[in-house]
Amino acid sequence: MKNKKLFLKAFLKNPRRVGALNQTSNFVAKEIINSIDFEKARCLVELGAGMGNITKKIVRKMHPECILFCFEIDPDLAEQIAKNIQDPRVKIISDSAENMGKYLHQSKIKKVDYIISTVPLTTLPYRKMKEILKSSFQYLRSGGKYIQVQYSLLGRRHLRMLFPKMGINFVFLNFPPAFVYVCVKI
C-alpha cells in the first residue's frame, strides 16, 4: 500500500512525467520479460523504472555477468528502488532518461543489448522525447531491442522512423491497457 501511495504522489506531483496512475502490471512486465534473451544479454537499460516492478523481474532473470542501468527521474521513487533492490549488478540513477549517454560513457559502455522504457514519450516535450529516442538508438547494439510501453499508438510514428522492424503487443490486463512496442535495431 505504501508503494501505491508513493507512486500516486509522484503522479500527482508531475502527471506528464510519470504518465500513469498505477505501476506497470505484472502482465505488461511478463510481455517485456518474454522479449529479452537473458542468456545473451550483458547490458540492459531501464528508462522510467518507477517503483521497480519491472526491475525486480529483470534482476531475477539476469545473467550473473549482466549489468542493469535503471533511470528514474523522481528521487523518491529512485530511493525506493534502491531500498528494494540491493544487487551489485544494478545501477540506480536518479536522472532523466535523456542523460543515459553520460552514465553509459562514464561506465565505459559503448553499446547495450536491450533498452526497456516506460517513459511516457507522448506526454513529454517533443525535444525531450526525440533526445531519449536518439540516445537509445545510438547506444543500442545492432540487433538489440528497444522495448517501449505506451498507453496509446500515438508514439508509433516516431519509433518506426528509427526502428522499421517493430512489433506491437496489446496488454488489456493493465490500467490503463498498454501497448508494448518491441523494436529491433537493424
Residue 108: band (very low, low, confident or very high) from pLDDT cuts 50, 70, 90: very high
Domain 2-184 has CATH 3.40.50.150: yes
For the stretch 18-31, pLDDT in tens is 444 456 889 999 99
What cell was used for 10? 509522484
pLDDT at 13: 55
How many whole angstroms separate alpha carbon 37 and alpha carbon 86? 23
pLDDT at 81: 94
Residue 172: band (very low, low, confident or very high) from pLDDT cuts 50, 70, 90: very high
Residue 86: band (very low, low, confident or very high) from pLDDT cuts 50, 70, 90: very high
Residue 137: band (very low, low, confident or very high) from pLDDT cuts 50, 70, 90: very high
The CA-atom distances, in angstroms, between 100 and each of 9, 18, 41, 136, 171 are: 25, 18, 18, 8, 28
**What is the mean predicted confidence (pLDDT) over 142-168?**
96
The CA-atom distances, in angstroms, between 8 and each of 18, 20, 85, 127 are: 9, 9, 20, 26
Comparing 4 with 60, the larger pLDDT belongs to 60
Domain map (residue ranges) of the chain: 2-184
**What is the mean predicted confidence (pLDDT) over 92-107?**
97
The CA-atom distances, in angstroms, between 32 and each of 114, 177, 179, 180 are: 11, 15, 11, 7
Comparing 154 with 170, the larger pLDDT belongs to 170
What cell was used for 120? 511516457
What cell was used for 65? 555477468
Q: How high is the mean pLDDT of the chain?
A: 90
